[in-house]
Structure 1
């Protein structure tokens, strides 16, 4: 089912998620991540959050494919796609700056998590892809977060080329990534340097700038779940069922 682990040091909380299937997310793991972010948001001993995944392979392969295959009705589908809505809203509401450590490839919901971070470090292997439209659904839930970072035009380009990997250089140029490095080692060296500096800043000032960064997104509390309902309906279509069976085989 995967794990969520948190380490707190020097007022910095590092959340590490893991799943054996390329760090993908079943619903239960998404809920644990949501709960952990909400809990840390209220922790006075924490001023900065770091979101990372375990291993040196993919950063995040998105939602669990096995769980997607098991969706059998609209309610299940809507609940399933609400998982990433819960996490993105938790990240948006969190009064602490969230730094993303995107060490490897990100697909679908993994791109959404990257976009919901306030500052992101990546490597030259951190390519991205939105593959949802290829199976008859779409990146509806994560779209507001991704478009907020890279704009509608770049979002459209990714969405309508669902089999094409966009390079980390492309993601850097579009604004999804803030800094990109040749290796994980170089990334971590710079990340630690950045965090140690950020931790010395005025906590209240960081909290206020977080509000500014996420201004005019309060409607996401409704919007993201409306989007989840769209995916929940589409996943039951004949097109999607056939596409999923093809992928399964």
Structure 2
């Protein structure tokens, strides 16, 4: 079994950032911290003009936060730190001065939907169904909610947040504005990502930086907002309802 990793590869001005975990690309705290640091470093690397965010494997883009860590939370502070993992990655993505292209090859759950939503331009295969499953275990998509709402709108976000048992197809996500295009397979997706990223590399970096700031205007409070949301989730994970639910998954 392959070990979890975060790695970066630079080619022709494109910084490819890839994460992987053998448990369907679910992300524990240490991998999330590495991912946030790598995104920040890519933003400061003059060799990189455009960032592509991707995951390893050919099935699941990201299954969300590590369930193994979730079930072992026993106090509110640990809970807040746990849920801050995705908050830190999302904030690193919005602050990154480079455009981030999302390459979504397969199903995406919970925090993974938040990562996809925090990209600046997101491309997917037809297999990239999305689900916000947090309500199933007694919490909610509090941390990723702002990023998801920013892309899907309040109506779309609340729909999938409340309908926590079901996946929504990639075409639905495209219609709502999360995905810019949906492709038949990974090969076609990768070709399209490459072409688009290379085209962006021919543009003025200063213009793209200014545009990114414009796109994210109104999110300047997210450092505090997402920390507050992480605290809510950290408290709810200790509730009797959630503890009983997690026992069933154990």
Q: Structure 1 length as normaliser, TM-score?
A: 0.98
Deviation at 1:129, TM superposition (A): 0.3
Q: SS of 2:61's equivalent?
A: coil
Aligned to 2:26: 24
Partner of 2:113: helix, strand, or coil? helix
Matched ranges for 1:58-137 at <5 A? 58-137=60-139
1:39 shift after superposition: 1.0
Count of residue pairs the alignment pairs up = 248
Q: CA deviation at 1:179?
A: 0.9
Return the alpha-carbon distance in structure 1 between the equivalents of residues 193 and 228 of structure 2.
Answer: 36
After TM superposition, the structure 1 = structure 2 runs for residues 1-249 of structure 1, keeping only pairs within 5 Å, are 2-248=4-250
CA displacement at 1:191 relative to structure 2: 1.1
Q: Over residues 42-73 of structure 1, what are the superposed CA-to-partner deviations in whole Å (9 max), with x where a residue is unaligned?
A: 11111111000001010000000000011010
Question: Tell me, which stretches of 5 or more residues in structure 2 are unaligned?
Answer: none
Structure 2: distance between partners of 1:221 and 1:237 = 25
Structure 1 position 206, deviation (Å): 0.6
Q: CA RMSD in A?
A: 0.7
Q: Any idea what the Cα deviations from partners look like across 1:179-216, whole Å, max 9, x if unmatched?
A: 11011111111111111111111111111100011001
Where do 5+ consecutive residues of structure 1 fail to align? none
Large movers: runs of 4+ above 6 Å: none
Cα drift, residue 239 of structure 1: 0.4
SS of 1:70 mapped into structure 2: coil
Report SS of the residue matched to 1:242. helix
Q: Equivalent residue of 1:21, what SS?
A: coil
